[in-house]
Amino acid sequence: MNIFLGLDIGGTTVKAALVTESGEILHKHEFPTNANAGLDDFCERTYQALSLGVKESGCSLQDVRGVGVGIPGPVDLNTGTVIEAVNLGWTNVPVVKLLKDRLGLPVALENDANVAALGEAWRGAGSGSESALCVVVGTGVGGGIVLNGHLYRGAHGGAGEIGHLMVLRDGPLCNCGNHGCLETLASATAIIREAKNAQTRGEIPANRVISGAQDVFALADAGNLAARKVITDAAEWLGYGLGLAACTLNPEVIVLGGGVSRAKDALLLPVREAFARYVFPVIRDDSRIELATLGNDAGVIGSARLIAQQVGA
């Protein structure tokens, strides 16, 4: 049996899973990232997570063929280095070499949005499709492209960054320095900002706490018209942006994930409706939009798939 260790490294916790070559999770474990403790400590705790997984799942260490790692930041695949991961305080860290030395296994590295896309395309909502655009709608809007089962990274890993499609000239300022990027209009951050503006105008009761997009969805669900408009506008921009992306890629499936997608049909249905109106009619019916199905497991499953592809298992 071929087994792979998939790691999904976040600012607070590391998710580690032993995944079979067919995508079944044998064992899952989480440990604190504790990036301040240093890289030796991180490698040691990763080794312990691997040992624990092997022991508790009853498999053999010899069955583990490699390790895939998803990182919250840009990576250099040529050198196996994390260029910068702000949440971890890592700059130019040679993660592939460090983990290879400690674990004695092949290691593959990738940006976390890309491995999550690979996971969803392989075993989630994109399962069975040749091409998938996976979009994460959370604090920002990120994404990844999978073609014929493999990640499409573009020249430097920037492919699929549809959050920075400029959809509104002179729109709100984006973290990237441009104005009017999709994520300034369709992310959780945008939804919260617009709901608070409506609250300032007196259209949402002043005593309602708006700390997340889910608060705005709840207000909309309860019949608040201003909250409904905020959601409709965000969904409209998302459908519009996905329409632009679909004209370039014509993916079989567009997968919506991330915190905002937890609103399920309250997001999915208006996005589908807007997409159908904006997209090139010839390809309208070719690209279906679906909600992500793997949740927090997308990263570890995608990381495992990545290393499986690299070692040819």
- Chain contacts with Zn ion (rule: CB under 5 A): 164, 174, 176, 178, 181
Min CB(171)–Zn ion separation in Å? 10
Q: Strand 131-137 to strand 253-257: parallel, antiparallel, or no bridges (unpaired)?
A: parallel
- Closer to Zn ion at the Cβ: 244 or 266? 244
Min CB(175)–Zn ion separation in Å? 6
In sequence order, what E strands does the chain have?
A: 3-9, 13-20, 25-32, 64-71, 75-76, 81-85, 90-93, 107-111, 131-137, 141-147, 150-152, 253-257, 288-291
- Closer to Zn ion at the Cβ: 94 or 171? 171
**262 Cα distance to chain centroid:** 13
- Closer to Zn ion at the Cβ: 69 or 190? 190
52 neighbors 29 (Cβ within 8 angstroms): yes
- Closer to Zn ion at the Cβ: 81 or 187? 187
- Closer to Zn ion at the Cβ: 10 or 142? 142
Q: In what order do the strands lie in the sheet with 64-71?
A: 25-32, 13-20, 3-9, 64-71, 107-111
183 neighbors 174 (Cβ within 8 angstroms): yes
Min CB(36)–Zn ion separation in Å? 30
Which segments of 177-288 does DSSP mark as H helices, in order?
183-186, 188-200, 213-221, 225-249, 265-278
170 neighbors 190 (Cβ within 8 angstroms): no
